[in-house]
């Protein structure tokens, strides 16, 4: 689902991208002769007056993807990662015949301009049982895959080795086969890779003052407004991106939700911000609030929990005007899209600790 904004009355629009092409006339369980993944995207706005599917309204600027993961970023854009260029999802761990041609390309979709841009290629293949998630500082991590032995596919076809046998927890031929052992690659991927969007390295990031519960609320109720204190100039904040904590599996992240919150008032140290109006716009639970500067820089998020209860509103100065943008970023075309790097062990552990904290707060 694309970001929800007050400018379009928070109307939901969904896009679907990728998948596997099928030959005409084949059964639903058959893929095409080539098994090539699609690079087409379609969209649907179910709340429109006359909703219709708009087929193939845009294409990835590269190869197709089956099993892609998509992440909503604080600048309002969508990052497409992971997956394969051939085959289908499914299969037991190490049985890499379903999809064995990983897609390392990344694509960034701008919903405002309705355009795609190529991002940096990743280095770690992510096939079945992979994931991608936004972390509180605005970067994205990719994890998982139980088909890291895709490189062995030709050898498996030629009986030169045997894929991972989950029931016996062995690699290579079982001794009962009376065949000499020839181990395949271990199928489980334990490395984490991080994508650093261009906005992460921009100067003058907005900085919310420390003080959980004093500089900003820990809990919000629907229809409220609230105050956030900044150590940097609050008047430099252009927009507020409210992104829900997420879980991801099997190329699916149903928890993902991006809501742009209107800024009602700003002075040098504080913002007054409108909370979501109802649970349909912003479901109950923990959310990350990202301040986005006028130059496109994204500040570190703070966590706020949406809860049921009576609305609470502070007095907004009479001279204040409501501001709402198209969701962060400078709007510059052909801007850098970010970098992708492998994480060292110490940083990996730090991010895992961060993930544990997220789960704990939930």
CA separation, residue 76 to residues 139, 180, 297 (Å): 13, 55, 12
Measured CA to CA, the distance from residue 55 to residue 221 in angstroms comes to 38
* pLDDT score of 24: 52
Rounded average pLDDT over 210-238: 93
Q: Among all chains, which residue has been given the structure tokens 């105050």?
A: 227
Phi, psi dihedral angles at 88 (to 5 degrees): -140, 170
Rounded average pLDDT over 152-164: 63
Q: Among all chains, which residue has been given the structure tokens 């904290």?
A: 357
Measured CA to CA, the distance from residue 138 to residue 134 in angstroms comes to 6
Rounded average pLDDT over 271-287: 96
Q: Which of 289, 312, 311 is nearest to 302 (CA)?
A: 289
Residue 346 has pLDDT above 60, yes or no: no
Rounded average pLDDT over 20-39: 62
pLDDT band for 20, please (50, 70, 90 cuts): confident
Rg (CA), the chain: 23
CA contacts within 13 A on the Cβ side of 180: 1
Q: Which residues, including other chains, have CB under 8 Å from residue 31's CB and lie 6 or more apart?
A: 20, 21, 22, 23, 87, 88
* pLDDT score of 2: 95
Rounded average pLDDT over 352-358: 33
* pLDDT score of 249: 81
Measured CA to CA, the distance from residue 349 to residue 343 in angstroms comes to 9
DSSP 269: S
Partners of residue 134 on adjacent β-strands: 140
* pLDDT score of 36: 86
Rounded average pLDDT over 187-209: 95
* pLDDT score of 91: 75
* pLDDT score of 251: 81
Residue 165 has pLDDT above 70, yes or no: no
Token pair in block for residue 319: 């001279």
Rounded average pLDDT over 315-322: 75
Residue 361 has pLDDT above 60, yes or no: no
* pLDDT score of 321: 57
Residue 33 has pLDDT above 90, yes or no: no
- Contact between 10 and 274 under an 8 Å Cβ cutoff? The reply is no
Residue 11 has pLDDT above 90, yes or no: yes
Cα of first residue to Cα of last residue in the chain, in angstroms, is 22
* pLDDT score of 347: 35
- Contact between 185 and 149 under an 8 Å Cβ cutoff? The reply is yes
CA 52 to chain centre: 26
Measured CA to CA, the distance from residue 75 to residue 66 in angstroms comes to 25
User: Tens of pLDDT along 110-134?
Assistant: 999 999 999 999 999 999 899 999 9
pLDDT more than 90, % of the chain: 58
Token pair in block for residue 70: 């998509």
* pLDDT score of 354: 35
* pLDDT score of 94: 72
Measured CA to CA, the distance from residue 186 to residue 209 in angstroms comes to 46
CA 116 to chain centre: 15
- Contact between 293 and 205 under an 8 Å Cβ cutoff? The reply is yes
- Contact between 46 and 34 under an 8 Å Cβ cutoff? The reply is no
Phi, psi dihedral angles at 109 (to 5 degrees): -100, 130
């Amino acid at each position: 689902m694309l970001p929800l904004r007050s400018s379009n009355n928070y109307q939901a629009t969904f896009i679907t991208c990728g998948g596997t092409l099928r030959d005409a006339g084949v059964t639903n369980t058959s893929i095409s002769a080539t098994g090539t993944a699609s690079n087409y995207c379609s969209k649907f706005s179910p709340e429109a007056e006359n909703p219709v599917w708009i087929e193939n309204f845009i294409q990835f600027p590269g190869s197709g993807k089956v099993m892609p993961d998509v992440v909503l970023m604080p600048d309002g854009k969508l990052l497409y990662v992971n997956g394969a260029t051939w085959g289908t999802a499914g299969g037991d761990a190490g049985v890499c015949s379903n999809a064995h041609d990983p897609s390392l390309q990344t694509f960034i979709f701008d919903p405002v301009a309705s355009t795609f841009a190529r991002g940096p290629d990743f280095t770690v293949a992510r096939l079945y049982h992979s994931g991608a998630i936004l972390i509180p500082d605005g970067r994205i991590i990719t994890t998982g895959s139980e088909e890291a032995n895709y490189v062995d596919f030709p050898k498996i076809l030629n009986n030169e080795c045997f894929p991972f046998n989950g029931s016996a927890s062995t690699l290579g031929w079982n001794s009962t086969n009376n065949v000499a052992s020839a181990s395949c690659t271990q199928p489980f991927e334990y490395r984490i890779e991080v994508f650093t969007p261009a906005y992460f390295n921009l100067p003058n990031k907005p900085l919310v003052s420390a003080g959980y519960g004093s500089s900003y609320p820990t809990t919000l109720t629907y229809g409220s407004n609230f105050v956030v204190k900044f150590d940097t100039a609050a008047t430099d904040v252009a927009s507020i991106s409210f992104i829900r904590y997420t879980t991801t599996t099997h190329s699916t992240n149903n928890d993902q939700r991006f809501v742009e919150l209107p800024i009602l008032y700003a002075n040098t140290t504080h913002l007054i911000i409108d909370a979501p109006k109802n649970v349909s716009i912003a479901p109950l639970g923990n959310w990350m609030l990202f301040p986005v500067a006028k130059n496109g820089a994204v500040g570190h998020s703070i966590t706020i929990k949406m809860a049921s209860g009576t609305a609470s509103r502070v007095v907004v100065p009479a001279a204040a005007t409501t501001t709402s943008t198209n969701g962060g970023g400078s709007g510059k075309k052909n801007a850098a899209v970010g970098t992708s790097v492998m994480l060292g062990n110490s940083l990996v552990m730090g991010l895992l600790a961060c993930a544990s904290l997220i789960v704990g707060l939930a």
